[in-house]
């Protein structure tokens, strides 16, 4: 039974093109000996097009956001054609270091299911996604429990540093932004603003109420669960740049989780110091979507 595809790229500079596939496109590979690197691809498709020739085969790599890909590749000095809308998908072509051309497109057509027996996880591993969600959701639920346990005098105490309410807001803002993948185009839901991005470290003009931040928490929780469920091999390899550095989409999930858990732990410490009581440990995400 056919269980995959092996694609051969002809190149005048194979070492440079292999480095490009590895370092720029982020493809994982193995050394097959004598310098031959074999790279893994996400699920492959074969389409038969009418043609006057029977040997004019073409290769296109697929991605889920070709415009974002072009922006990321161009930032790394890769020559990319303008994105074309061809109806069946959005298409660009990259120029490889060896001078060859490689098509990349974002399909709009129906996608076939992977062949039974193909490598597990090739199209996104639901079990791995669920494991990630259970732990990411647990961190968000610990944050929710800290919000619920905070007495009102402590919540709005502006003499305490750090301010409890502000730590909650800061955590939720960055949870939301990191799930969006980029600062450009990001806008939090009302009544929140982009003040958190101010380089001077300006805080909101007023204390946000518990119910406002609990609503924001539910928004972030649902967005997080949806983002994990929608993740693909391509999206987890896509590069995301922030002021502190650049990471893949897969690593950004983990970075975001650690940031939420860091501040959830900080809030639990403040509760222990102020009230001698904290909510318990959450081992896995709660079942309900609201985080209640």
Q: All domains of the chain, ordered by start, with CATH? A: 14-107 (3.10.180.10), 126-275 (1.20.120.450)
CB environment 255-285: b (16+ within 10 A), e (fewer): bbbebbbebbeebbebbeeeeeebbeebeeb
Q: What is the pLDDT of residue 219?
A: 96
CA distance 241 to 251: 12
84 DSSP β-pair partners: 91
Q: What is the pLDDT of residue 201?
A: 81
pTM: 0.60
State the Cα angle at 59 between 240 and 53, rounded to 5°: 160
Q: What is the pLDDT of residue 281?
A: 94
Q: What is the pLDDT of residue 4?
A: 64
Q: Give the residue among 155, 159, 147, 123 at the shortest CA–CA distance from 43.
A: 123
Taking 50 as the pLDDT cut, the residues of the chain under it are 1, 115-123, 289-292
Residue corresponding to tokens 């893949």: 248
Whether residue 81 contacts residue 93, with contact meaning beta carbons closer than 8 Å, is answered with yes
Q: What is the pLDDT of residue 42?
A: 66
Q: What is the pLDDT of residue 118?
A: 40
Q: How many C-alpha atoms does 277 have within 13 Å on its Cβ side?
A: 6
């Amino acid at each position: 039974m056919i269980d995959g595809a092996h694609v051969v790229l002809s190149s005048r500079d194979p070492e440079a093109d292999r480095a490009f596939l590895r370092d720029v496109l982020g493809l994982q590979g193995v050394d097959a000996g004598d310098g031959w690197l074999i790279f893994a691809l996400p699920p492959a498709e074969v389409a038969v097009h009418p043609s006057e020739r029977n040997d004019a085969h073409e290769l296109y790599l697929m991605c889920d956001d070709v415009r974002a890909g072009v922006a990321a590749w161009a930032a790394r000095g890769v020559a990319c054609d303008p994105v074309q809308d061809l109806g069946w998908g959005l298409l660009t072509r990259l120029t490889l270091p060896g001078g060859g051309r490689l098509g990349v497109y974002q399909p709009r057509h129906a996608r076939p299911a992977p062949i039974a027996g193909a490598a597990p996880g090739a199209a996104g591993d639901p079990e791995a996604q669920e494991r990630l969600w259970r732990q990411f959701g647990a961190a968000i639920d610990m944050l929710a429990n800290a919000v619920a346990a905070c007495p009102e005098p402590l919540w709005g105490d502006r003499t305490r540093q750090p301010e409890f309410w502000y730590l909650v807001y800061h955590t939720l803002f960055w949870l939301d932004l990191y799930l969006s993948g980029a600062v450009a185009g990001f806008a939090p839901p009302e009544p929140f603003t982009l003040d958190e991005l101010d380089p001077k470290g300006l805080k909101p003009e007023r204390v946000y109420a518990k119910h406002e931040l609990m609503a924001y928490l539910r928004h972030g929780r649902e967005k997080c669960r949806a983002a994990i469920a929608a993740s693909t091999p391509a999206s987890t390899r896509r590069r995301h740049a922030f002021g502190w550095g650049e990471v893949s989409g897969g690593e950004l999930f983990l970075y975001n989780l650690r940031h939420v858990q860091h501040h959830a732990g900080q809030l639990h410490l403040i509760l222990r110091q102020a009230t001698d009581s904290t909510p318990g440990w959450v081992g896995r995400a709660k079942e309900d979507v609201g985080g209640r």
